[in-house]
Amino acid sequence: MPRPKKNRHCQVTPCPKAFKPNRIPMDRLERIPLAADELEALRLCDLEGFTQEEAGRCMGVSRGTVQRILAAARHKVARALVEGAALIIDDDLQ
């Protein structure tokens, strides 16, 4: 049985809930979910310039966990940009 997930402290509250390519209706796009902790890791490391260790302290998780979250988030963002998919920010996912 896997260990339960640790609560992750997320300070970011996204205004838009989705980013998508212009002029393409949402119902014709693939939707890629981005969890709140993934958005927070992107904000702390890529926008604010924190190290993964500093981000881990802010989020209440280990550096290794931040590294895994960040890798998943970057993959999803890159995929949405390259493939023209919609990026759906989901506060409930963590």
What is the domain-level CATH number for residue 82? 1.10.10
**Tell me, what's the pLDDT at 16?**
75
Express each pLDDT in 34-81 by its tens digit: 999 999 999 999 999 999 999 999 999 999 999 999 999 999 999 999
Number of domains in the chain: 1
Domain-embedded: residue 69: yes
Domain-embedded: residue 9: no
The residue range of the domain holding 84 is: 35-90
Question: Is the pLDDT assigned to residue 87 strictly greater than 90?
Answer: yes
Question: Is the pLDDT assigned to residue 93 strictly greater than 60?
Answer: no
Q: Phi/psi class of residue 7: alpha, beta or left (left: φ > 0; alpha: ψ in -120 to 50)?
A: beta
Residues 15-40 have a mean pLDDT of 92
Contact 51, 20 (CB under 8 A): no
Please state the pTM of the whole predicted model: 0.83
